[in-house]
Amino acid sequence: EESIVLIEADSEEKARFEAETVGKSHEVTYHTCDGRHADWRFIRIERVYDLGDNELIHGCEVFSRFLRKSKV
């Protein structure tokens, strides 16, 4: 799973720390319906982007990318 999370921070270092905290807080271990063991684990922060002084309002786009036809 890839997850994009909005973090408010005063520096990139603080943003990375906060993002790691959020990621680790979503780790979970459980047993599947067929009795097997499954883990969701935080692996890494892929990227940090500074959104600048842009005001984040309802409907504000924070991420987009074009997909190849084969990925749609």
Tens of pLDDT, residues 44-66: 998 998 888 877 888 877 777 78
Q: Name the DSSP letter for residue 1.
A: -
Tens of pLDDT, residues 3-33: 888 898 999 999 999 999 999 999 999 999 9
Q: Is the pTM of this model over 0.75?
A: no
pLDDT value of residue 72:
66
R_g over Cα of the chain: 16
pLDDT value of residue 45:
93
pLDDT value of residue 9:
92
pLDDT value of residue 2:
77
The DSSP annotation for 5-66 comes to: -----SSHHHHHHHHHHHHHHT-EEEE-TTS-EEEE-----------TT----TT------P
